[in-house]
Amino acid sequence: MVAHSYGGIVTAEAAAGTFGVRPELLVDTFLQDCDPEVQVRAADHLARQSVRVTGQPVGAAAWQQVPSTYLVCAQDRGTPPRLQREFARRAGSVVELDAGHHPFLSQPATVRDLLLSL
């Protein structure tokens, strides 16, 4: 299982009760280390998220029962690395990558190799 950002919480709702990335901030905040063509394609996939995910308790945390690795993105401007390091304390191992918020877009081979090594 691979999860990203909100820990893999998946929700789908209409526009009411949702939030999203302001398109004009997308590149500088989340995609600054991606190639320009990736930045353009990513903008086409923006989706709003339910506000409920920010306060909804997690019913089951698999990382408590299965080996887990946290990938800290040291150049992330969306989720500050200092917070990521705090979140990562719960993981069995921590890997730090000199990447922005979406390393699977900016450094796909590195992320692939990490996943295959787990």
Are 49 and 18 within 8 A, CB to CB?
yes
Are 23 and 46 within 8 A, CB to CB?
yes
pLDDT of 5 reads 61
pLDDT along the chain (118 residues), means of 10: 51 63 92 96 89 82 86 97 94 96 97 96
Catalytic residue among 98, 101, 102, 113: 101
pLDDT of 48 reads 87
pLDDT of 107 reads 98
Catalytic residue among 4, 33, 76, 98: 76
pTM of the model: 0.79
Annotated active-site residue 102? The verdict is no
Annotated active-site residue 76? The verdict is yes
